[in-house]
A and B are shown apart, each in its own frame.
Chain A
């Protein structure tokens, strides 16, 4: 009984310490993050129905100079090398971004990339020649060609690796470091372990709106949907902690093993101490 009391005191102190350090102090230190806004409420609402067939033509005449759309066999008119010399970043392939970006965001983005991404230096120029109807057509086109069942890795390739390397997955950023530094002021960090060095809540808020976490940062707001954001975060977590499943499985067996040890040693102790207690 007395020993239980001692154990209880130790347990209370340890739990109080754990709560104080890892939860209370941690929270006081990093504060509350703003909630992510997947509706991009700061951007103008649109209610125009687009026509994908017209959209394709508009894409070919307005976008294909810089962007490829491999799903339809459309190659960009300039190669990656020329593009990064011109813009300091390789423009992404647009095959699947139509499904990954929120439609409402995409519309506002094409209208004014700098405003939508909250990055005044964003490399894609605004296109004054396009009317709202034109833009709606292009959005409809991009949505119609995009694959809906994309994976987290697809999001990474289409939306992130023009800037970021993922060294442990042997992914090198499509753009050279020299250009990225010119464009963004620094080489964007490697993403191999971001799924472990940051928690999910942070990643969600940061990817959703980098400025809300790091004011003045040069990473653009990308306009990913909630689904795409979650998928890319899950992917980042998976590659940062590839043995999680194995660990959980081995962990259960280890605990069973240790528990058997507790039972056996308890039985032995009971047997030996029977003689002593008398």
Chain B
């Protein structure tokens, strides 16, 4: 008897497989952007495994951390450097994938009813990954690790009433110190990954329940129009994945500087502030919104919080009955302005916040919020047009 039969008798794997993979249909009119969810799962697996190997040699102690990373792992352990490079590049690239995944969701209206649950769990994943990246960045205990953590935790001082106590509670000390390192370590290697795994499971389950959206935002009759997930959709998925892997490995071996800042190869020095402090590229846009309102720190802080939260409310800001942006000319304009604006904010986030850059920053921050304000308006206009019958049956 073949092993597979043996398993089948005990776990009914054939039936499970057929039910969940072959009979599961996805729309035919979806492009490779719908592969990014699986790419994200794949990228997370890469991070998990490379992180596990790093964990075998990493020492969470302010006196040992820097050398354990930069000497032990990077120089002494055979192929230790691969795991560090993979982990650093993976952490950076997962944000690129997430941004593309989110932009896909926005453009094709994937957050709309009935996919609000998918959207919200996705949003929670984004926040969890942000927290994981932030805590992880402190671990090598380099100059930028130290000062980025110092700067960001200082923001919590502005919380009314409890601000100052809160900062000390987060840091475990008056400044970033050994106590901060050990608690960030605990969060980064245990707590947050566990939450992420659970949330990914719920996110995927929610996608299964409501089914994938598609380019036209149309509900499909899966019996007639869908293609089987296995092997048809997966064969494309593997192809996309292997192209991604090619790109990813190129970065890991030949173009990793963007994910491993030179400044962070200096050991943390609490007595010496680096000339420039900036977060990793994926936080630059929010950082710029924070600085954008240069005339008022408090306003900047509120804007910063809003910029990270607003995106969760898209399903309720955009109530247009037309689902896919493909059929919404006004929305398309807003979308592309938003994308370009986000890119500009990201670049500004690393530029000195003075002179003309400060004004561009303010302006770009306002446009950022303009997108969210424009959505209800565009929805209203579209609803009206629909009622007047100006739009055709494409919807």
User: Which residues does A use to contact B, with CB under 8 Å?
Assistant: 2-3, 6-7, 10, 13-14, 16-18, 20-22, 24-26, 28-30, 168, 189, 192-193, 196-199, 240, 242-243, 247-248, 250-251, 254-255, 258-259, 261-262, 264-266, 268-269, 271-273, 276
Listed from nearest, the 4 A-B pairs whose CB atoms lie closest are A251-B253, A20-B347, A197-B265, A25-B350
Decide if B347 touches A197 in the complex (CB within 8 Å): no
Given A22-B258, A25-B351, A197-B266, 8 more contacts at CB 8 Å?
A18-B258, A21-B281, A168-B75, A242-B75, A251-B252, A255-B253, A268-B235, A271-B235
| Contact among A18, A197, A258 for B263, CB-based, below 8 A | A197
Q: Pick the contact of A196: B82, B262, B352 (CB < 8 A).
A: B262
Report A20 CB to chain B, min CB distance, Å.
Answer: 4
User: Is B249 an interface position by the 8 A CB rule?
Assistant: yes
| Complex interface residues of chain B between 246 and 281 (CB less than 8 A to chain A) | 246, 249-250, 252-254, 257-258, 262-266, 275-276, 281
Q: Which residues of A contact B346 (CB under 8 A)?
A: 17, 20-21
Residues of B within 8 A of A30 (CB): 275-276
B343 and A16 contact, CB distance less than 8 A: yes
What is the CA–CA distance of A251 and B251 in the complex, to the nearest angstrom?
Answer: 10
| Distance in angstroms between the alpha carbons of A160 and B343 in the assembled complex | 44
Distance from B358 Cβ to chain A, minimum over Cβ atoms (Å): 13
User: Which of chain B's residues have a CB closer than 8 A to the CB of A259?
Assistant: 246
Query: What residues of chain B lie closer than 8 Å to A254, measured between beta carbons?
Result: 249, 252-253
User: Which A residue's beta carbon lies closest to that of B344?
Assistant: A20
Tell me if A21 and B238 are in contact (CB < 8 A): no
- Smallest distance from the beta carbon of A26 to chain B beta carbons, Å? 7
Once the chains are docked, how many angstroms separate the CA of A25 from the CA of B245?
Answer: 28
Q: Please give, as numbers and ranges, the residues of chain A lying within 8 Å of B350 by CB-CB distance.
A: 21, 25-26, 29
Tell me how far the C-beta of B219 lies from the nearest C-beta in chain A, rounded to whole angstroms. Answer: 21
- Pull 21 A–B residue pairs with CB atoms less than 8 Å apart, ordered by A: A6-B32, A25-B347, A28-B351, A168-B75, A193-B70, A197-B262, A197-B263, A240-B265, A243-B74, A248-B253, A251-B253, A255-B250, A255-B253, A258-B245, A258-B246, A262-B242, A262-B243, A268-B235, A269-B238, A272-B235, A276-B28
Q: Tell me the bound Cα distance from A262 to B100 in angstroms.
A: 21
A200 to chain B, nearest CB (A): 11
The complex places the Cα of A269 from the Cα of B241 at a distance, in Å, of 12
